[in-house]
Amino acid sequence: MPNIKSAIKRVKQSATAHEQNSQTKHAMRSAVRKAEAALDAKTEDATVLLKDAIKKMDTAARKGLIHKNTASRQKARLTKKAL
């Protein structure tokens, strides 16, 4: 544990950011898995789950959790499955 006040604050801030980033990334991955499963099973709510997954990927890319090209590639692959 650091002794300097600003370093202590920085540790707390990075822990909070890590928690938020982990939750966002987990939500994105879960949404992608659900969308893939729905597209493979050809259920009627597949398009809704696809839109949700794309939205979560865009959010993760905007926050810098994944690279924008990675998000684009994953969205393209999911959309290709939908067609």
Give the tens place of pLDDT for each residue, 50-75. Answer: 999 999 999 999 999 999 999 999 99
Provide CB contacts within 8 A for 27, sequence distance 6+: 56
The pair of three-digit structure tokens given for residue 16, joined into one six-digit string: 């909070």
Whole-number mean pLDDT of the chain?
95
pLDDT tens for each residue of 13-51: 999 999 999 999 999 999 999 999 999 999 999 999 999
Per DSSP, the three-state class of 9 is helix
The angle at the Cα of 51, spanning 66 to 61, to the nearest 5 degrees, equals: 15
Output the pLDDT for position 24.
Answer: 96
